[in-house]
Structure 1
C-alpha cells in the first residue's frame, strides 16, 4: 500500500499528479493496437480532475476522507437526488465509481470501496439515463417562427427601444444553430465572434472557458448562414449602442447597458417562453433541447462522434457517441 497521508491531506493535488502518468492510463488499459499506452489528452485530464474534485468535495461534506469513505457512502453519492430528480444518471454515476476504483487500485487499498459500490449497484439501482429531447425539423422551424418579435417601430420612444428583444432573438438562434450551451451563450465574448464570413455564409465562434462554465473546453463552433443573418445585425446594433448610449462590457449578449452577464435562469425562462408560443411541450424544454436538436441534425447528416465531439466542445469522444434522443411532444393543450 502506498503512503496515503498526502492523498488524505490534499487528495486533489495527489490526483492531479496521478492522472497525467502512465500509471493512470494503465488502470484503464488504454492500449493501442501495438500494445503501447495511449496518451492522456489535456481535455480528458481536465474532465477527470473536475469529476474527482467533485467526488472529494461530497466525501468531505460527509465528514469522511478518501481513505475512510465506505462502499455504502459511494452508493449514496451516485444515487443522490435533488428536488426529486437524480443528480447523476447511470452512465455518469458509473464513471465516477470507475474513476475512484482506479484511484484505490493505484493506492493499493483493499477491499476497493469503489469496486464494491459498483458490484453493489450493478448499475441497476442507479438512476436510468433519460434520452435527450430533440425537435423535428418542422418543430425547429416553429420554434424560430415563435422567437421574440421586435416591437412595432412606431411605438419606439427612446433610441434602441426593444434592443433586449433583438438580443434574446439572436441569442436563441445562436444556441440552436451553433449547438452552444446556455453557459457558452451568455459567456460569449466579442472577440470570440469571427470577423471573416466564409463563402457559405458561415462564421466561426471560438468558444473558450473564459466567462463560461468551468468545464467548457475551447473549440470552434461554426455558425451557419441562417444564424449569421440574425447575429450580425445584433452585433451592429450593439456596436452603435456602445457609441450612442454607452453600453459597457465585452459580452455579446449583455444583460443591461452596464454590461452585466445574463443569468442562466433568465435565458431558460426566455427559451421556455418561445417553446410555449410555438405550441411545444414546455415540461422538458430549454437550451439543452436546442443543443440536442443540433447534435441530432449533425449525426443525421453523417457526422462521426469524433467530429461531433469537436463541434460541441466535449471532452470525451464517447460523450458524443452516447447521444440518444426522443422527439419532444407538441403542447397537448
Structure 2
C-alpha cells in the first residue's frame, strides 16, 4: 500500500500511529527480534502495543519540537534532527540520553524509508557525514546501587515527624510518616515512583506472607501509561513502617483511596517524591550521582539477585516485560560484587 503523503504532511502523528501499529513498520525496522513483537491478526507480526505506545510518545515529542521551530516533518534536514537530538537544559545538560538519541534515529530512519523520502536525515546523522561537532554526545548517567552499609544509613535517615499527635490534632505529622512509608515501599519492593504514588489501598494485602513480607498486587490504574499488572512484595525488614502507615491511612480524614495521597486526596507529584528521597540520601551522608527512586529500585533488584531469586521472579517483581531487562541487572550484579569486594562502603556505580 502506497503511503498517504498528504496525511503525513497534515497530521503526521495520526499517520505515524497507523504506521507503527501495522506490520509494515517491521519491514523497515532493523530490529525484527521477537522481543518487541506479538502475533496478532492471523499471524501477522507487529510491534507490541507497549512498544508502539512508547514510539508514539517519542514521535509526538519530535513533532512538537518541529512545530515550535516551523519545520515540516518531511522537510526536516540532518541539521534539524541533530539540533533536536542534542538539546540541552538551562544548565547545559543533555535532554536526551544517548540510548534515546539512537532510538530516535532508528525511528526517523524507518519513517523516511517507508515514505521513500530522500535524503534521509537519520542516515545523515548515523553515518556522521556531518562535521565532527555534530556527533551525538548524549551520555547515560551511571546506574547506582547501595551497599549494605549504605542501605542501613538510608533507612536510619528516613523521615521522622517531630509533631506530636494530640486530641485536637490526632494526625499531626502524617505527611512525614507517609513519606517514610513511600520510601520503604520503593526500597523494599522495587516500585517505580509512578507506581508508588498511584498505589491504591486495596492493592496491598491485608496479611503478611509466611516469610514476613507484604504482598502488593499492582494494577495499571493511576500508574504510568505503559504499566501493567504484576506482583511484588515489601521486604520483611521494611514492612513495619508500611503497616503503621496503612493503619493511619485507614483513619486519615483525607478522601480517595490512594494509599499515599496528597493533602486533599490527590495524586502526589513525582517531583515531590524525588525531593523527599534526595533529602533522605543527603541526611544519610550519601552524596551519589543518582539520588532518586531509580537507585532504590536498582538496589532492590540486586538484593533479590543476591538471594538467588530467579530471573523470571525478579522480572515479575519489577514489572518488566522481558527477561533481557533483568539480565542487565544480572550483569550489574556481577560488577557490583567485584566492586564491593574492594570498596564495601561505597556505592556500586555501574
The bucket for the TM-score relative to the shorter chain is 0.7 to 0.9
Name the counterpart of 1:285: 291
Name the counterpart of 2:110: 102
How many pairs align?
322
Q: Alpha-carbon deviations, 1:224-256, whole Å to 9, x = none?
A: 323433222211111122xxxx32122211122
The counterpart of 1:270, out of the listed 268, 276, 290, is: 276
Q: Is 1:145 aligned with 2:156? A: yes
TM-score, normalised relative to structure 1: 0.83
CA separation in 2, counterparts of 1:318 and 1:78? Answer: 27
Name the counterpart of 2:54: 47
Consecutive unaligned residues of structure 2, counting only runs of 5 or more, are 35-42, 340-344
Residue 95 of structure 1 and its aligned partner are, at CA, apart by 0.5
CA separation in 2, counterparts of 1:305 and 1:16? Answer: 33
Give 3-state SS (helix, strand or coil) of 1:16's partner.
helix
Q: Is 1:27 aligned with 2:28? A: yes
Assess, with a 3 A threshold, how the Cα gap between structure 1 residues 205 and 47 changes in structure 2: closer, same or farther: farther
CA separation in 1, counterparts of 2:71 and 2:322? Answer: 30
Kindly report which structure 2 residues correspond to 1:120-159, keeping only aligned pairs within 5 A, or say none: 120=128, 125-151=136-162, 158-159=169-170
Q: Alpha-carbon deviations, 1:194-216, whole Å to 9, x = none?
A: 34543333334333443334444
Give 3-state SS (helix, strand or coil) of 2:231's partner.
strand
Residue 276 of structure 1 and its aligned partner are, at CA, apart by 1.9
Residue 96 of structure 1 and its aligned partner are, at CA, apart by 1.0
CA separation in 1, counterparts of 2:20 and 2:61? Answer: 15
TM-score, normalised relative to structure 2: 0.80
The counterpart of 2:98, out of the listed 90, 94, 99, is: 90
- Shifted more, 15-24 versus 224-233: the winner is 224-233
Say whether the 8 Å CA contact 1:179–1:312 is kept in structure 2: yes
Say whether the 8 Å CA contact 1:201–1:225 is kept in structure 2: yes
Give 3-state SS (helix, strand or coil) of 1:67's partner.
helix
Kindly report which structure 2 residues correspond to 1:246-257, keeping only aligned pairs within 5 A, or say none: 246-256=253-263
Consecutive unaligned residues of structure 1, counting only runs of 5 or more, are none
Assess, with a 3 A threshold, how the Cα gap between structure 1 residues 39 and 56 changes in structure 2: closer, same or farther: same
Q: Is 1:113 aligned with 2:121? A: yes
The counterpart of 1:167, out of the listed 175, 178, 192, is: 178
Q: Is 1:6 aligned with 2:17? A: no
CA separation in 1, counterparts of 2:221 and 2:165? Answer: 40
Give 3-state SS (helix, strand or coil) of 1:85's partner.
coil
Say whether the 8 Å CA contact 2:198–2:221 is kept in structure 1: yes
- Shifted more, 197-206 versus 3-12: the winner is 197-206
CA separation in 2, counterparts of 1:254 and 1:317? Answer: 33
Assess, with a 3 A threshold, how the Cα gap between structure 1 residues 269 and 232 changes in structure 2: closer, same or farther: same
Q: Alpha-carbon deviations, 1:16-70, whole Å to 9, x = none?
A: 22222222123225156xxx98553222222222222222222222212221111
Give 3-state SS (helix, strand or coil) of 2:61's partner.
helix
Residue 142 of structure 1 and its aligned partner are, at CA, apart by 0.9
CA separation in 2, counterparts of 1:190 and 1:24? Answer: 41
Q: Is 1:296 aligned with 2:311? A: no
**RMSD between superposed Cα atoms in Å:** 3.1
Kindly report which structure 2 residues correspond to 1:70-81, keeping only aligned pairs within 5 A, or say none: 70-81=77-88
- Shifted more, 220-229 versus 159-168: the winner is 220-229
Assess, with a 3 A threshold, how the Cα gap between structure 1 residues 295 and 55 changes in structure 2: closer, same or farther: farther
